Each structure stands twice: as structure tokens, then as C-alpha cells.
Amino acid sequence: MEQRKQVLSAIQPTGQMHFGNYFGAVKNWVALQEKYDCTYGVVDYHAMTMPYNPKKLRENTWELLFNLMAVGVKPESLFIQSLVPEHTELCWIFNCFTSYGQLTRMTQFKDKSAQVAETATDSFISAGLLDYPVLQAADILIYRADYVPVGKDQEQHLELTRNIAQRFNNQMGKEYFVLPEPLYTEVPKVRSTADPTRKMSKSAGEKHYIDVFGDDNRIRKQIRSAVTDTGDTPAGEMSPGVDNLFTLLKAAESMEAYESLMKDYEAGELKYVDLKDAVADALVGLSADFKARKEALKADKKEIKNQIKASSAEIRKKAQETVRAVKEMAGLSNVKF
């Protein structure tokens, strides 16, 4: 039997899961489990690169894990990054195969540095923020991943990962690391319903994201108040706001409503209230299913937490094998596990 390819992806524990997260990444994670051997991490070390609250970080980590399981991610695929310390050990080794210039050219470092400068009182920019693409490379390569699901905003980081792997292979004279390939799958570009020119995001403020596990009435209110036309859309083109609502409806797989309302749009007969009602119904329906599953999981919270700790320990074994091999090649002292 042909061995299944390895997929690695990860997400930071930064609070609620919104529909941009779900439709743009996590829904795809669930689908990929059927075709690949998938490893999915909640990367709490990465969340430390920006100003954060320690207690909230731990709470958000577990909340995200319950959310991921509620939407269909298999618990045996999940790990918590800080329970696998080999990630940071490999990161240090990779630091010695990465140039300072490469890191300073990272677009997200520039963007997040500017964000810190705008919002933090002391404008403190951590070395971790500069270095986190190297930790990200360790996250991927430590599991010898063949594929990494990425969006356009992550292509630069994956290319750095490939550069680090190739430099290590060249210096060691051995093709040890597979150069991971991007896994492009069709995912919707979900925008803020309050400002459809912007990506749906928690960092933009509460009105710019819709919580997957949120209150039904709030979800409906956010959709009812969604921006549709702003008056500056060229004739014959769908406005960004209307396009975003159709995107949400299609992503929620409410295809009968999608096709019917699209016919109305093409005939010039679309009523925005009908489109908004359909989107609200679709999102509330999804949310209700996910909330029911989450409640069932939380009823057995202790057992679920133990399960995630066990899966992290099992996944760690592969990380240990990689680090042991890397240290041997790099001329470092080693121990047997």
C-alpha cells in the first residue's frame, strides 16, 4: 500500500474562532484528513511574539483545541507546541542556517512591527517576532511534512523553510529534509462584513469578525448590518460587500439558496434583505451544530485534555527522532530516548 503523504499546518491561539478562520483554513483541515496523514498544531510559542496575557494564552490554547475538535478535527492529529520542546531546539539549530537579512525582509515582520509600534505603549518589538519564521520552519520540517496548506500571505515563509532545509542538506552533504511543497486548495477569501475591503480579522476589532461559536442573535445582527453597496462600484460589477455575502453563503454550502439568489442578482431582482437572511440562516445553522458538539466535548473536559496531552506525547516521538538525527549530522552531543 502506498504511504500517505504528510501534511502539517498550525494555528495560533489568539481567541475565538471566526468564520474567516473556519472557511479559510480549518474547514480545509477537516477535509484533508481523508486523503493525507495530517498533523495540526496549536502553536502557543508563536502567540508570545506579540504582547500577551499569560493566563489568557493558556485559556485560549485549550479553547481553540475544543473548537477544532467541535468542527471535526481528529484529536489524534492535534498537538500543543509547548508540549513538544524539540520545536525550539530545532529552531536554534536552524537559526545557524538562516541569514539575518532573510528575516528582516519578511513582510509579516514589517507589518507586525508596525502594528506593535502603533498599539503598544513602549513600542517593544521582541526578537521572537523577528525569529518566528525560523520556528515556523522547525514546526514544518520536524515532522518531515510533504505539504503545507498555505495562502498567498504565507508563501514567503514557506519559501524560507525550503531555503533552510536546502542549506542544511547542502552543508551536511545529505538530502535529509524533504523540501515541503505548498498545498493550494480552493478556499474562500472571507472579508469583514463591516468593511468588505478588509480581511475578516480579530485584530481589526469586534465588528470585523463573526464568532463561529457566538450568540445566534449577534450573528444575525452582524449579517443584517453587513455593508452591501457603497456607491463606488463600477457599473456591471458586483460590489465587494455583496460578493462577500455570496462567498459566505457558498462556503457554508447553502447551495440551493446560493443558486437561487445568484439568479435573482443576474436578473437585477436581488433583494439584499433576502441575501442577508439566507447568509444568517446558513451561519447560524452551522454554528448550532458546532456548539452542540463543543458542549458534548466540554462535558468530558478532563478526559479530552488528557487525550490531547497523550496525542502531543505521541506526536512528539516523531519530533524527537528528527532532532536526534539532526544533532548527529550537525556534530552535536546526543542522547537516546
Q: pLDDT tens digits for 179-235?
A: 999 998 777 889 999 999 899 988 778 899 999 999 999 999 999 999 998 666 676
* Residue closest to 46 by CA, chosen among 109, 107, 99: 109
Rounded Cα distance between 147 and 156, Å, is 15
pLDDT band at 119; cut points 50, 70, 90: low
Q: Which residues contact 121 (CB under 8 A, 6 or more apart)?
A: none
What is the phi/psi pair of residue 181, to 5°?
A: -100, 150
CA angle 115, 136, 176 (to 5 degrees): 155
Given this model, what pLDDT does residue 241 score?
94
For residues 321 and 275, membership in a common domain is answered with no
Tell me the three state secondary structure of residue 144: coil
Higher pLDDT, 61 or 108: 61
> Is residue 113 domain-shared with residue 132, that is, in the same domain?
yes
Could you tell me the three cell numbers for 309?
Answer: 496531552
Give the per-residue pLDDT at 150. Answer: 83
pLDDT score for 78: 98
Phi-psi region of 111 (alpha: psi -120 to 50; beta: other; left: phi over 0): alpha
Q: Write the pLDDT tens digit of every residue in 129-157.
A: 899 999 999 999 999 999 999 876 678 88
Q: Both 164 and 242 in a single domain?
A: no
The verdict on whether 327 is a catalytic residue reads no
* Res 337: pLDDT: 55
Say how far apart CA 208 and CA 194 lie, in whole Å.
6
pLDDT at 44: 97
Q: Bridge partners of 147?
A: 7, 181
Pick the catalytic residue: 5, 199, 291, 327? 199
- Mean per-residue pLDDT, 119-136: 83
* Residue 195 included in any domain: no
Residue 59 has pLDDT above 70, yes or no: yes
Indicate if 169 and 272 belong to the same structural domain: no
Neighbour-count burial for 246-265, b at 16+ CB within 10 Å, e otherwise:
bbbbbbbebeebbeebbeee
Task: For residue 162, tell me if it sits in a domain.
Answer: yes
Catalytic residue among 56, 189, 202, 318: 202
Give the pLDDT of residue 292: 97
Same domain, 282 and 314: no
Q: What integer pLDDT is reported at residue 233 of this predicted model?
A: 67
Q: Is residue 244 part of a domain?
A: yes
How much of the chain exceeds pLDDT 90, in percent? 78
pLDDT at 94: 98
Confidence class of residue 51 from pLDDT cuts 50, 70 and 90?
confident
| 312, three cell numbers | 502531543
Least-confidence region, from 52-61, 78-87, 144-153, 242-251: 144-153
pLDDT of 15 higher than 90 = no
Answer yes or no: are the C-beta atoms of 298 and 292 closer than 8 Å.
Answer: no
Give the per-residue pLDDT at 184: 83
289 in the same domain as 320: no
Contacts of 293 (CB under 8 A, 6+ apart): 69, 70, 71
The predicted pLDDT at position 120 comes to 58
Co-location of 41 and 175 in the same domain: yes
Cβ burial 53-70 (10 Å sphere, 16+ → b, else e): eeeebeebbbbbbbbbbb
pLDDT at 118 over 80: no
How many domains does the chain contain in total?
2
**What is the secondary structure of 2-27 as a DSSP string?**
PPPPEEEEEE---SPPBHHHIIIIIH
Name the catalytic one among 112, 250, 276, 294.
112
Domain assignment present for 197: no
The reported pTM is 0.90
E strand or H helix at 263: helix 255-266
β partners of residue 85: none
Length of the chain as a residue count: 337
> Domain limits at 29?
6-187+301-330
pLDDT of residue 232: 66
User: Is 174 designated active site?
Assistant: no
Give me the CATH number covering residue 108.
3.40.50.620
Position 46 in a domain: yes
- Residues 231 and 223: their CA atoms lie apart, in Å, by 19
Q: Is the pLDDT of residue 117 over 90?
A: no
Q: What amino acid is encoded at 237 in this protein? A: E
Domain-located, residue 321: yes
pLDDT value at residue 83: 98
With cell 496531552, the residue in question is 309
What pLDDT score was predicted for residue 151? 73
Q: What is the model's pLDDT at position 153? A: 67
Please check whether residues 50 and 85 belong to one and the same domain: yes
d(CA 313, CA 304): 14
Pair 80, 307: CB distance under 8 Å: no
202 a catalytic residue? yes
Verify that 309 and 289 share a domain, yes or no: no
Residue 193 lies in a domain: no
281 in the same domain as 146: no
Band (289; pLDDT cuts 50, 70, 90): very high
Average model confidence (pLDDT) across the chain = 92
User: 93 and 183 share a domain?
Assistant: yes
3-state secondary structure of 234: coil
| pLDDT for 135 | 97
Q: Residues 282, 309: one domain?
A: no
pLDDT, position 147? 96
Residue 192 lies in a domain: no
Task: Find the CATH number of the domain harbouring 228.
Answer: 1.10.240.10
